[in-house]
C-alpha cells in the first residue's frame, strides 16, 4: 500500500473563522486539486518518502498550532502522519533549478527537434525495451541505470537519446502535478499577503 498526501490551502483572516476557533481558514481541499502520489515531490517538499536527493523545503513540522478545524478534523479522520506546512512566502524563495545531490536513479529520454536540439520527453520508471537493447543490460539493471553507469552516460538512437543526469527541484515537483496548487496559493497571496497563505499537509500509509 502506498503513501498519499492530504491537506488544505489555508488563508489567514482578520477575524476568527465562524467554522473554527482559529484565524486561519481552510480555503480548498488538496483533493479538489488532484495532487497525485509522487514520492519525489513528497521528499523534495516535506522530507517524506525521502531519497535524500534534496534538502526538504518544509521537513515534517507537525500541524500548525493554529490550524483550521477542517485541517484538524481531516488529519484525525485520515489518521494522518508526518504533518507539515509551508507558507507561500517560503515557496517563493525556493530555487527550483537546484540540482539533486546525486544523478537520477531513472533514465531520462530526449527527442531531437526539427532544429536539431535535444528536448526532454519523459522520465522512465521502468526501463523501455529500446533502452534495454541500447545499454546491453538486462531489464532489472536498466531500470535504475545510474547505479551501474556514470553520470552523463547517454545512448543515442536516431532522434532519440537516453541519458543519466541529475534532476532539478522542478523535475521532482512538476508543474503538471502541482501547478494548480501554486496557482491558488499565488492568487490568495496577491490578495492577502505571502505570509498569510500556507499549505498544510499530512500523509497516510
Strand 118-124, strand 154-157: pairing:
unpaired
Over residues 26-44, the pLDDT tens digits come to 999 999 999 999 999 999 9
Question: What are the phi and psi torsion angles at 141 (to 5°)?
Answer: -90, -40
- Whole-number mean pLDDT of the chain? 92
Over residues 90-145, the pLDDT tens digits come to 999 999 999 999 999 999 999 999 999 999 999 998 999 999 999 999 999 999 99
Report the pLDDT value the prediction gives residue 79, as an integer from 0 to 100: 76
Report the pLDDT value the prediction gives residue 34, as an integer from 0 to 100: 95
SS3 readout for the chain: CCCCEEEEEEEECCCCCCCCCCCEEEEEEHHHHCCCCCHHHHHHHHCCCCCCCCCCCCCCCCCCCCCCHHHHHHHHHCCCEEEEEEEHHHHHCCCCCCECCCCCCCEEEEEECCCCCEEEEEEECCCCHHHHHHHCCCHHHHCCHHHCCCCCCEEEECCEEEECCCCEHHHHCCHHHHHHHHHHHHHHHHHHCHHHEEEEEEECC
Phi-psi region of 26 (alpha: psi -120 to 50; beta: other; left: phi over 0): beta
On whether the CB atoms of residues 202 and 75 are closer than 8 A, the answer is yes
Evaluate the CA torsion angle 76, 77, 82, 85 in order and state its sign.
negative
The yes-or-no verdict on residue 51 having pLDDT over 80 is no
Q: What percent of the chain has pLDDT over 70?
A: 94
pLDDT bracket for residue 22 (50, 70, 90): low
Report the pLDDT value the prediction gives residue 154, as an integer from 0 to 100: 97
Alpha-carbon distance of 144 to 138, in angstroms, equals 11
pTM equals 0.86
Lowest-confidence range among 17-31, 43-57, 119-133, 159-173? 17-31
The yes-or-no verdict on residue 17 having pLDDT over 90 is no
The yes-or-no verdict on residue 14 having pLDDT over 80 is no
Spell out the domain ranges in the chain.
5-97+170-203, 107-165
pLDDT (mean) for 178-201: 97
Lowest-confidence range among 13-17, 31-35, 155-159, 192-196? 13-17
Amino acid at each position: 500500500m502506498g503513501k498519499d498526501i492530504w491537506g488544505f490551502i489555508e488563508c489567514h483572516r482578520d477575524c476568527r473563522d465562524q467554522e473554527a476557533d482559529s484565524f486561519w481558514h481552510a480555503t480548498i481541499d488538496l483533493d479538489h486539486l488532484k495532487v497525485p502520489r509522487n514520492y519525489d515531490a513528497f521528499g523534495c517538499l516535506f522530507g517524506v518518502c525521502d531519497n535524500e536527493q534534496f534538502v526538504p523545503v518544509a521537513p515534517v513540522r507537525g500541524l500548525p498550532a493554529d490550524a483550521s478545524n477542517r485541517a484538524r478534523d481531516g488529519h484525525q479522520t485520515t489518521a494522518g502522519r508526518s504533518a507539515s506546512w509551508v507558507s507561500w512566502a517560503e515557496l517563493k524563495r525556493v530555487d527550483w533549478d537546484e540540482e539533486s545531490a546525486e544523478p537520477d536513479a531513472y533514465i531520462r529520454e530526449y527527442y531531437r527537434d526539427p532544429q536539431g536540439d535535444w528536448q526532454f520527453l519523459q522520465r522512465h520508471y521502468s526501463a523501455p525495451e529500446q533502452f534495454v537493447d541500447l545499454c546491453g543490460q538486462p531489464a532489472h539493471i536498466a531500470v535504475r541505470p545510474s547505479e551501474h553507469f556514470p553520470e552523463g552516460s547517454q545512448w543515442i538512437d536516431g532522434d532519440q537519446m537516453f541519458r543519466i543526469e541529475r534532476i532539478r527541484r522542478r523535475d521532482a515537483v512538476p508543474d503538471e502535478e502541482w501547478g494548480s496548487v501554486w496557482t491558488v496559493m499565488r492568487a490568495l497571496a496577491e490578495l492577502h499577503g505571502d505570509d498569510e497563505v500556507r499549505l498544510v499537509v499530512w500523509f497516510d500509509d
